Structure 1
Amino acid sequence: MTIRFAHLSDIHFGGENQAAVAAAADHVNSGQFDLVIVSGDLTRYGEKVEFEAAAEWLASVKGPKLVTPGNHDAPYIAVAERIFTPFNRFERAIGPARAQSHLGGGFAVRGVNTARGAQPRLNWSKGQIGPRQVREAADWFSEAPPECFRILVCHHPLMEMIGGPMTARVWGGAAAARAFAEARVDLVLSGHIHAPFTWPYPFGDGKTYAVGAGTLSVRERGVPPGFNVVEIEGAAIRVAALAWGGSHYEPYRTWSLDRRPV
């Protein structure tokens, strides 16, 4: 049995690459995916009209979806709202912000919000994950059947991508990565840096992998707009980063990862 996921991130409605976004929906709708995952930053500034566009696009995408917010999904301009109720707009338009989950079909997926509307540091757009969030996610995975493929979804990479175009600087990220490796999570999917990547966490058996997706916005950082296709078949995990070439999607990079024994 092959399990297929579409992993998209950083669409930034309000500043999206319109052709790439429309083609991504067509590609996903024709791909027979078991789950469509969006790892945050659906909007550019968290404006209501941007959320309306995001919700309309998500409704056009077939099949089950799991969507977690990113830092751009807290209002940038409405400062008071960003500080006190940062994800109200997300929840009204998209769904739960704090955590999301999907269990069934041989896989377990948990979304965790690493974005904050305000932090005790100047750059509030960087990530943060608390011990309670980690504990709740690990406990949820512990109740899933042992044969399930386990995926954690968050917006910010918990540990920095080596040579990446920008940083996430997630407070609590390294401890969370270690905990998820010990919980035998297979993949930790993220976005934020607008570039695709895979690499194993240096914890446990080395078979918990960080996987990042690119962007579908005009805010490119040296990589064309695109998204990932993840396939699990037996002991193999295949990740293909697809890039928008102006008329169609084509492979940009591919990775083959070893799945830990069930």
Structure 2
Amino acid sequence: MRFAHVSDIHFGGENVAAVAACRDWIADQAPDLVLITGDLTREGLQAEFQAARAWVDSLSAPVLVVPGNHDTPYFDLAKRLFAPWRRYERYFGPVPEEADQLDGLAIARINTARGVQLRANWSKGAISARQAGAAVRALAAAPEGALRVAACHHPLIEMVGAPMSGKVHGGRAAAAVFARGGVDLVLTGHVHAPFVLPFSGGDGRTWAVGAGTLSVRERGVPAGFNCIEAEADGVTCTALTWTGSRFEPWRTWRLDRRVG
């Protein structure tokens, strides 16, 4: 099982060459899946969603998507307050409560973005105990041996040396639920830099995996995305970064995988 983990494309502010090259990489490498962990748009505008939808439709692999904080109407407070996901759902549908099942892979999609919050920086994330519990239950129904993945926009734990924070309300509690519940990977975006970290608790084999950005809003790491390859005994995560003419490996992590 091999899939591309893409995040923070920010159509309206995308790195045009890198986005086109990512599509070419997918066509050439034929991954089993493309998983996009939010912020498809820059300001949640209809034209940006149209561009995002057209790009997704042009990919030669199945695609799963979760929303990010930029996928709400960024400058329209009334719409962010009363209908934050109407436009996203028009183009990509609601986030399902059941897990997506592929051969050897189960993915629970979670919306950690909020239109508004009772704090000044509404762009930060939140995850409820209900959301975390529902994801674990959905993944528990996966066939034995399947890689169990939770996908959301905001990192539930902070990346060491991150260029920005997630500050997810309920993030640490959800991370503990995922570690105890046998989730293998929690894939996120938001910070625009790739990373891999183990969750504390459980058996130490629940991993936080963050992807970079395909936008021009780089934060210390060139534009890029992750290639994730799962085998029976482990997972290899390679962060690919854009050189200006092609994607090259930037860093590779080999992750232990629980057995049984």
TM-score range with shorter-chain normalisation? over 0.9
> Is structure 2 residue 64 aligned with structure 1 residue 46?
no
Q: Distance in 2 between matches of 1:32 and 1:259?
A: 24
Q: Deviations over 1:157-188 (max 9, x none)?
A: 00111111100000000010110111111000
Q: CA contact under 8 A between 2:36 and 2:65: conserved in structure 1?
A: yes
Question: Which residue of structure 1 aligns with residue 85 of structure 2?
Answer: 87
2:245 match:
247
Deviates more, 1:134-143 or 1:211-220: 134-143
CA distance in 2, matches of 1:243, 1:100: 33
Q: Deviations over 1:173-225 (max 9, x none)?
A: 00101101111110000000000000100110000000000000000000000
Give the equivalent residue in structure 1 for 2:236: 238
Match of 1:221 in 2: 219
3-state DSSP class of the match of 1:66? strand
Structure-1 residue corresponding to 2:16: 18
Q: Whole-Å Cα distance in 2 between the matches of residues 71 and 144 of structure 1?
A: 29
Cα separation, partners in 2 of 1:235 and 1:73, compared to 1, 3 Å: same
Aligned to 2:157: 159
How much does 1:261 deviate?
Answer: 1.0
CA distance in 2, matches of 1:165, 1:197: 12
123-132 or 95-104: which moved more? Answer: 95-104
Matching residue of 2:128: 130
Q: Please list, as runs of the form range in 1=range in 2, the aligned pairs for 1:51-130 lying within 5 A after superposition.
A: 51-97=49-95, 99=97, 101-130=99-128
Partners of 2:110 and 2:146 in 1: CA distance = 19
- After the TM superposition, list the runs of 4 or more consecutive aligned residues in structure 1 that deviate by more than 2 angstroms: 97-101
Q: Distance in 2 between matches of 1:109 and 1:36?
A: 12
- Say what the alpha-carbon RMSD is for the aligned residues: 1.0
Number of equivalences: 260
Offset at 1:99?
4.8
| AA of the residue aligned to 2:111 | N
Kindly, what percent of the aligned residue pairs are identical? 55
Cα distance in structure 2, aligned partners of 1:252 and 1:162: 17
Deviation, structure 1 residue 34 = 1.3
Are the aligned partners of 1:100 and 1:112 in contact in 2 as well (CA < 8 Å)? no
SS of match in other structure, 1:165: coil
Deviations 1:1-35 (A, max 9, x none): xx101000000000000000000011012212111
5+ long unaligned stretches in structure 2 = none
